[in-house]
């Protein structure tokens, strides 16, 4: 088995990935700033080497990549790379020293798609700073794989959810109060006709693809893989499902977006526009075919698990 360094190991995906790797027999090093604990406890964390490292600070003085290389990894999983400069520093430090670098990207690199579900060979149309930066990172990494043989794989998660944090809600933003409103059986107003799509993924299914990419090195190097649930959902269907999950028939109304946004918190309205302007819907057939990926969660199952934790924590109020 391999020595695997997970950068950002205590975050959303790392919460599930690190125990998976330990149970598969790998020697695991979790690198983080030391300010957070995993969202869900697991006995496997007792067998993990913990390294405290501030990426921002060490990148400013040019020592982050060499610090990761000094951990002598066979495999590096980078869950928190957000700029091309960060990616380049890490690649140059690891070149010739690792078997595999797995980068956590995003479906945001697609922007909008002409056909859906979108496959990995469709052109990227990113817009906005986050999607554009992530697209530049993965373009660089995959070019390095093709030109120089640097062994990298890109995994593109959708809207990650799971217990411990707030999932993207049926209004297209992250205010947990929307779930409370639905739980009380009150009317929910959606933008437009509620037919734009969102595409969730449980963090454990993202972790599964990363684990399978490490195990299936030969099929994974030089490739990008979507990491989403088997099907996207539209806002209306999502709201209807959650209403019935709470024991109510749906009470929905619809307004044109520009009218709808006047009744919303400005930050929430901007987040909704970010999501509906992309309306992601993606295929995981490539991960099924090349890596043997078998997702555990539908979009609704992933959201239900997250909302159940929000109820238990008192962040979503039932009637």
In this prediction, residue 39 carries a pLDDT of 82
From 14, 16, 106, 48, select the one nearest 295 (Cα to Cα): 16
Q: Give the model's pLDDT for residue 38.
A: 83
Tell me if 171 sits within 8 A of 272, measured CB to CB: yes
Yes or no: say if 121 and 114 are a contact pair by the CB < 8 Å rule. no
Instruction: Please state, in angstroms and rounded to a whole number, the distance separating the CA atoms of residues 279 and 285.
Output: 19
The more confident residue out of 145 and 39 is 145
Q: What is the pLDDT of residues 65-75, one digit of tens each?
A: 999 999 999 99
Nearest 5°: the CA angle 237, 168, 189 is 50
Q: Which residues contact 94 (CB under 8 A, 6 or more apart)?
A: 65, 68, 69, 73, 76, 101
Query: What pLDDT digit, counting tens, does each position of 9-23 carry?
Result: 999 999 999 999 999
Strand partners, 188: 252
Model pLDDT for residues 279-304, shown as the tens digit of each residue: 999 999 999 999 999 999 999 999 99
Phi/psi of residue 314, nearest 5 degrees: 80, 15
Structure token digits, residue 44: 């496997």
Query: How sure is the predictor about 150, in pLDDT bands with cuts at 50, 70 and 90?
Result: very high
Q: Is the pLDDT of residue 248 over 90?
A: yes
What crossing angle do the helices spanning 14-23 and 203-215 adopt, rounded to 10°? 40
Provide mean pLDDT across the span 66-86.
98
Q: Is the pLDDT of residue 35 over 80?
A: no
- Percent share of the chain, pLDDT over 70: 100
> Does 34 score more than 90 pLDDT?
no
What is the pTM (predicted TM-score) of this model?
0.97
CB 29 within 8 A of CB 73: yes
Residues 153-170: tens digit of each pLDDT: 999 999 999 999 999 999
The answer to whether the Cα torsion of 261, 315, 183, 297 is positive or negative is positive
Q: What local confidence, expressed as pLDDT, does residue 192 receive?
A: 98
The predicted pLDDT at position 1 comes to 82
pLDDT in tens, 177-201: 999 999 999 999 999 999 999 999 9
User: What DSSP state is assigned to residue 107?
Assistant: G
DSSP state for residue 110 in the 8-state scheme: G
What is the structure's pLDDT at 296?
Answer: 98
What pLDDT was estimated at residue 316? 97
Distance CA 53, CA 146 (A): 31
Phi first, then psi: give them for residue 188, nearest 5 degrees: -110, 125
pLDDT of res. 241: 98
Q: What is the mean pLDDT of the chain?
A: 97
Give pLDDT tens digits for 217-245: 999 999 999 999 999 999 999 999 999 99
CA-based end-to-end distance of the chain = 51
Q: Which residue has the higher pLDDT, 112 or 200?
A: 200
Dihedrals phi, psi of 5, to nearest 5 degrees: -100, 120
Decide if pLDDT at 118 tops 80. Answer: yes
């Amino acid at each position: 088995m391999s020595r695997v360094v997970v950068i950002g190991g205590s975050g959303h995906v790392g919460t599930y990935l690190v125990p998976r790797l330990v149970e598969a027999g790998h020697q695991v090093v979790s690198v983080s700033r030391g300010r957070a604990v995993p969202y869900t406890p697991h006995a496997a964390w007792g067998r993990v080497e913990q390294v405290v490292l501030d990426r921002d600070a060490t990148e400013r003085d040019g020592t982050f990549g060499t610090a990761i290389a000094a951990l002598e990894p066979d495999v590096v999983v980078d869950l928190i790379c957000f700029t091309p400069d960060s990616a380049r520093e890490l690649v140059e430090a690891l070149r010739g020293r690792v078997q595999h670098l797995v980068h956590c990207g995003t479906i945001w690199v697609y922007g909008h798609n002409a056909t859906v579900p979108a496959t990995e060979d469709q052109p990227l149309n990113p817009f906005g700073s986050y999607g554009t930066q992530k697209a530049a990172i993965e373009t660089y990494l995959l070019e390095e794989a093709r030109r120089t043989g640097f062994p990298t794989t890109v995994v593109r998660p959708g809207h990650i959810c799971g217990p411990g944090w707030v999932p993207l809600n049926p209004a297209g933003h992250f205010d947990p109060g929307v779930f409370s409103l639905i739980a009380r059986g009150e009317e929910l107003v959606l933008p437009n006709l509620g037919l734009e799509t969102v595409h969730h993924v449980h963090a454990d299914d993202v972790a599964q693809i990363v684990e399978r990419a490490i195990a299936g090195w030969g099929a994974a190097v030089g490739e990008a893989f979507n990491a989403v649930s088997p099907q996207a959902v539209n806002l209306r269907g999502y709201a209807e499902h959650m209403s019935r999950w709470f024991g109510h028939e749906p009470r929905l109304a619809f307004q044109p977006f520009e009218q709808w946004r006047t009744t919303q918190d400005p930050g929430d309205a901007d987040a909704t526009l970010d999501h509906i302007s992309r309306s992601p819907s993606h295929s995981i057939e490539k991960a099924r075919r090349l890596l043997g990926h078998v997702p555990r969660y539908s979009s609704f199952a992933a959201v239900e698990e997250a909302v159940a934790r929000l109820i238990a924590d008192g962040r979503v109020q039932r009637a």
